[in-house]
A and B are shown apart, each in its own frame.
Chain A
Amino acid sequence: MSETHRDDRAAGAGQDELLLAMAGITKRFPGVVALDDVDFDVRRGEVHVLFGENGAGKSTLINIVAGTYPQDDGTMTFDGRRITHLTPHQSRLAGISPVFQEFSLAPDLTVEENLFLGREQARWGVLRKGAMRTRAREVLHDLGFDLRPGARVGQLMRAQQQMTEIAKALLQDLKLFILDEPTASLTERETNRLFALIERLKGEGVGIIYVSHRINEIRRVGDRVTVLRDGKKIGTVQASNVEETKLVEMMTGRRIDALFPDIAAMAGDAMLDVRNLSTVDGRLSDVSFEVRAGEIVGVAGLVGCGKSELARAVFGLDKFSVGELDVLGERVAHPTPTGMLKRGVCYFPSDRVAEGLALSRPVRENASVAALDLADFTRWRFIRRRQERTAIKRIVEELRVRPPQIERSVDHLSGGNRQKVMLARGLTRDIRVFLFDEPTVGIDVGAKTEVYQFLGELTKRGAAVLLISSELPEVVNLAHRVYVMHEGRIVNHLEGNEITEEAVLASFFGTGADAPSAGAAAG
């Protein structure tokens, strides 16, 4: 790790310390400029945090470093050499090791097989399984990861897959380590172990790019912070002495109070009443909550705490084993998506690509799809295309979908506009209960405020809104009541002035736990 290029030293000590230098990086995708003239560099032995909202361009930048796709413009120097035409493989050979949120693991192979994927120890093509197993054990032990080398990766929990991915990255000759939101699925203990590991790597002179949008983490591990917003670099600051409010301002481009609209609570009758609900797969146990008309109810908790499953079970996507569910005062014994929509409940999934939208189909079809049983759109199971067009056009304009072309296929739209197409479903029929699962994931700041305003509009109209989110500020600033979940149970309920980030965080690890230090907490 210490073999620096002494020859290049003429440029001065500062230059020598630079492991990676990127200048004027620009990257365009159909419909968006993901990165616009961004400069970025990493020194040896430094943790450089990339900070920004989802969709700010963080992922694009690290993907360019990792060789996933080339930049359209700009130069990149790594380890003293100018780099062009980088492939993922070359970048790894050069000592760049990325750990993405989307893992590069083969699900049908074991942990050990994945660790060595692409660089198996072999003689004449014949694998030396014994040697590899020994080495895998060593590495896992060394890292303190609790993983069985023989376990099949596809059957592991997400956190374990994350650890496998990290171990895989560390197995090679490492110069630049890239971590993309690594703590999203880790418990506090695992997070601490990861941070210890980062300290050790820093000591060995490895440069680290750490992507995050959690402020507490940044203070803990970061040396410098570069803030991106909407594909542009806003600035680089020292992590040690930066104010939290300053970072948030840089990230969002506005003061935090301007970001969230003030939404008055006008709680009416209970629209959704859930008692003692448990799911078949055991991810929810004995959960009770209610959502009333005219209020926003937040649900917070760590990834995997069961908060998404809450909405999924209510909407009939996850089966429940016991429990009672009342919608608008009526008992629902077997919820199904079709039936729940009829009753005025609509679910907006967090993963819009996987579960929400038919990407290859036009906006019009995606917007009207949840209302095809209504006389507004159909007659005798045939579609009234003219009515459909007019109605969707009106809704699309109301939601300010850009471009406002209803025949465009959804895959050409940006994240924010895709979400608006999803939201349009809530307006095509009389929806009284809105279940939002991470409504602002992957969309830019402008669209975020629009979504928040949309939530405000809904409550004003007397709808009941369930807001499930990993973005604490969102929950804290918008919700009138908050449920906090931990390991499939609701562990806390906060109301009115009780709702503060500290109070919510305090319950993240179960009731009675002391307020945890940084770690997995959301910023």
Chain B
Amino acid sequence: MVDTGLATERAVRAWRRILERSPAIGLLPILLILLFIFFGLYEPKFWRGANLINVLRNSSYLMIISAGQMLVLVIGGFDLSVGAVVALTSVAAGLVMADLYAAWPDAASLAIVIGLVVGLAVGSAIGVINGVTVAFLRVSPFMVTLGTMSIAFGLALYVTRGVPVYGLPDEFTREFGRLRWFNVPVVVYLTAGIIGVLWWVMNWTRLGRYVYAIGGNIHASRVSGIPTIAYIVITYTMCSFLAAVTGVLLTARVGSGEATLGTTLMLESIAAAVIGGVSLRGGVGRVEFVALGALFLALVTNGMNLLRVDSKIQTIVIGAVLIIAVGLDQMKIKGRGQ
């Protein structure tokens, strides 16, 4: 109305224009590059190949589990149980492998395969329970997955009595934990493959299309004849399956089945997805940006480690970064909404 009002308004508009012109999610890639340059200038070790590979490997686990979380968020849900699924998978796979390996030391690969199958199946089963309870009984996903989280952690602790499961076949840790191709850990290739497949699924298949549709407007989807219940169950199952994969890979990395393995992953996976632009209201989210979100978190952690920032202070920084990243994104949505 008055000049100052116009000036501020102009400034706001200019700011919004910058945000709007930035591609799709906008700030994240730019932020990643800036961080990359900043850490490198401050601590040249950061740019070394070995360190970068390390960052990639550390972010791989988070990428897989966050991609699963993204699926559930996009369909309009929520999964608090992913961390517990990691723990349960780790324990289940670990116990089966260790027992079979102890019984038949020669058949290590058979033990590994059966252990993997059992672990992945147990983990996915949690997803089926989540999906069925959310879709059929229409209980809030928050509460359902809170419950299954408690159940899965409880089971994992009960089975192991809190003691890590040792005695896994060496081949397992070697193949899945430490193996490198062209000096890059095999986990990184696997993650790239999973993200690629999910990208394809979300963009080129009926499943992906329906996940977006259901998250955007479940009523419209139902009316259009999409079997929404089935797709919700499938999505929760996929999420738990991916969490189970993460559980198996982490087990291979630490070399034992542990009931405390996934404790921080639930919050981190949601943080990575949200930083990657996934809407908590459903319908919006792209797997490639979620991967970037996970990479971002890993990069920040790694950089701070190299800068010798106290690990306790790191949690403060990550918390603040999360709020600010989403706050900026919020400004962008407002700018577009006009």
Cβ contact within 8 Å between A108 and B215 = yes
Shortest CB–CB separation between residue B3 and chain A, in angstroms? Answer: 12
Q: Which residues of A contact B215 (CB under 8 A)?
A: 108
Residue A70 at the chain B interface, CB threshold 8 Å: no
Cβ contact within 8 Å between B216 and A89 = no
Of B126-134, B222-230, B255-263, B322-330, the one with at least 4 CB within 8 A of chain A:
B222-230
Q: Which residues of B contact A119 (CB under 8 A)?
A: 224-225
- Report which of B1, B9, B207, B216 forms a contact with A106, defined as CB distance below 8 A: B216
B215 and chain A: residue at smallest CB distance: A108
- Given known A-B contacts A107-B216, A129-B204, A320 and B221 have beta carbons under 8 A apart: no
Residue A438 at the chain B interface, CB threshold 8 Å: no
Q: How far is the CA of A127 from the CA of B204 in the complex (A)?
A: 5
Cβ contact within 8 Å between A107 and B283 = yes
Shortest CB–CB separation between residue A408 and chain B, in angstroms? Answer: 26
Cβ contact within 8 Å between B226 and A118 = yes
- Given known A-B contacts A108-B283, A108-B284, A280-B9, A117 and B206 have beta carbons under 8 A apart: no
Shortest CB–CB separation between residue A93 and chain B, in angstroms? Answer: 7
Q: Which residues of B contact A281 (CB under 8 A)?
A: 338
Residue B248 at the chain A interface, CB threshold 8 Å: no
Cβ contact within 8 Å between A127 and B205 = yes
Cβ contact within 8 Å between B207 and A125 = yes
Interface string of A102-121 (1 = CB under 8 A from B): 01111111000100011110
Residue B174 at the chain A interface, CB threshold 8 Å: no
Q: How far is the CA of A321 from the CA of B12 in the complex (A)?
A: 13
Residue B91 at the chain A interface, CB threshold 8 Å: no
Residue A197 at the chain B interface, CB threshold 8 Å: no
Cβ contact within 8 Å between B224 and A117 = yes
A121 and chain B: residue at smallest CB distance: B206
Q: How far is the CA of A125 from the CA of B210 in the complex (A)?
A: 11
Shortest CB–CB separation between residue B221 and chain A, in angstroms? Answer: 7
Binding site secondary structure of chain B: helix
| Residue among A104, A118, A280, A320 facing the most chain B CB atoms (10 A cut-off) | A118
- Report which of A109, A125, A334 forms a contact with B206, defined as CB distance below 8 A: A125
Q: Which residues of A contact B209 (CB under 8 A)?
A: 109, 113, 117, 120, 127
Interface string of B276-290 (1 = CB under 8 A from A): 000000011000000
Q: Which residues of B contact A92 (CB under 8 A)?
A: 223-225
Q: How far is the CA of A88 from the CA of B225 in the complex (A)?
A: 7
Cβ contact within 8 Å between B219 and A108 = no
- Given known A-B contacts A92-B225, A119-B225, A281-B338, A127 and B206 have beta carbons under 8 A apart: yes
Q: Which residues of A contact B207 (CB under 8 A)?
A: 125
Q: Which residues of B contact A89 (CB under 8 A)?
A: 222-225
Residue B220 at the chain A interface, CB threshold 8 Å: yes
Residue A1 at the chain B interface, CB threshold 8 Å: no
Cβ contact within 8 Å between A106 and B220 = yes
Cβ contact within 8 Å between B221 and A126 = no
Cβ contact within 8 Å between A104 and B204 = no
Interface string of B190-208 (1 = CB under 8 A from A): 0000000000000011110
Give chain A's interface residue range (CB within 8 Å of chain B). 20 to 34
Q: How far is the CA of A109 from the CA of B213 in the complex (A)?
A: 7
Q: Which of B290-318 contact A (CB under 8 A)?
A: none
Binding site secondary structure of chain A: loop
Residue B264 at the chain A interface, CB threshold 8 Å: no
Q: Which of B208-257 contact A (CB under 8 A)?
A: 209, 212-213, 215-217, 219-226
A98 and chain B: residue at smallest CB distance: B223
Cβ contact within 8 Å between B9 and A105 = no
| Count of interface residues, chain B, beta-carbon cutoff 8 Å | 24
- Report which of A109, A126, A129, A334 forms a contact with B216, defined as CB distance below 8 A: A109
Shortest CB–CB separation between residue B92 and chain A, in angstroms? Answer: 30
Q: Which residues of A contact B226 (CB under 8 A)?
A: 117-118
Q: Which residues of B contact A105 (CB under 8 A)?
A: 217, 220
Cβ contact within 8 Å between B216 and A108 = yes
Q: Which residues of B contact A88 (CB under 8 A)?
A: 222-223, 225
A120 and chain B: residue at smallest CB distance: B206
Q: Which residues of B contact A113 (CB under 8 A)?
A: 209, 213
Q: Which residues of A contact B1 (CB under 8 A)?
A: 320-323, 333-334
Q: How far is the CA of A109 from the CA of B215 in the complex (A)?
A: 10
Cβ contact within 8 Å between B221 and A106 = yes
Residue A353 at the chain B interface, CB threshold 8 Å: no
Shortest CB–CB separation between residue B283 and chain A, in angstroms? Answer: 4
Interface string of B1-38 (1 = CB under 8 A from A): 10000100100000000000000000000000000000
Cβ contact within 8 Å between B224 and A104 = yes
Cβ contact within 8 Å between B204 and A126 = yes
A116 and chain B: residue at smallest CB distance: B209
Shortest CB–CB separation between residue A89 and chain B, in angstroms? Answer: 4
| Residue among B206, B207, B284, B338 facing the most chain A CB atoms (10 A cut-off) | B206
Q: Which residues of A contact B220 (CB under 8 A)?
A: 103-106, 117
Cβ contact within 8 Å between A107 and B206 = no
Q: How far is the CA of A103 from the CA of B216 in the complex (A)?
A: 12
Q: Which of A307-366 contact B (CB under 8 A)?
A: 320-323, 333-334
Residue A33 at the chain B interface, CB threshold 8 Å: no
Cβ contact within 8 Å between A122 and B206 = yes
Q: How far is the CA of A222 from the CA of B224 in the complex (A)?
A: 28
Shortest CB–CB separation between residue B2 and chain A, in angstroms? Answer: 8
Q: How far is the CA of A323 from the CA of B5 in the complex (A)?
A: 13
- Report which of A126, A322, A323 forms a contact with B205, defined as CB distance below 8 A: A126
Shortest CB–CB separation between residue A179 and chain B, in angstroms? Answer: 16
Q: How far is the CA of A323 from the CA of B2 in the complex (A)?
A: 10
Cβ contact within 8 Å between A104 and B223 = yes
Cβ contact within 8 Å between B212 and A108 = yes
Shortest CB–CB separation between residue B230 and chain A, in angstroms? Answer: 13
Q: How far is the CA of A280 from the CA of B338 in the complex (A)?
A: 9
Q: Which residues of A contact B221 (CB under 8 A)?
A: 106, 117-118
Shortest CB–CB separation between residue B168 and chain A, in angstroms? Answer: 36
| Residue among A89, A105, A106, A117 facing the most chain B CB atoms (10 A cut-off) | A106
B219 and chain A: residue at smallest CB distance: A104
Q: How far is the CA of A120 from the CA of B211 in the complex (A)?
A: 14
- Report which of B205, B212, B225, B338 forms a contact with A93, defined as CB distance below 8 A: B225
Q: Which residues of B contact A120 (CB under 8 A)?
A: 206, 209
A-B contact pairs, 25 of them (CB 8 A): A92-B223, A104-B220, A104-B223, A106-B212, A106-B213, A106-B217, A108-B216, A108-B283, A109-B209, A109-B212, A109-B213, A117-B220, A117-B224, A117-B226, A118-B221, A119-B224, A119-B225, A126-B205, A126-B206, A127-B205, A280-B338, A321-B6, A322-B1, A323-B1, A333-B1
When A and B form their complex, which 6 residue pairs have the shortest distance between CB atoms, in order from nearest? Answer: A118-B224, A106-B216, A89-B225, A104-B220, A118-B225, A108-B283
Q: Given A106-B283, A108-B212, A118-B224, 13 other A-B contacts at CB below 8 A?
A: A92-B225, A104-B217, A104-B220, A106-B213, A107-B216, A107-B283, A113-B213, A119-B224, A119-B225, A122-B205, A125-B207, A281-B338, A323-B1
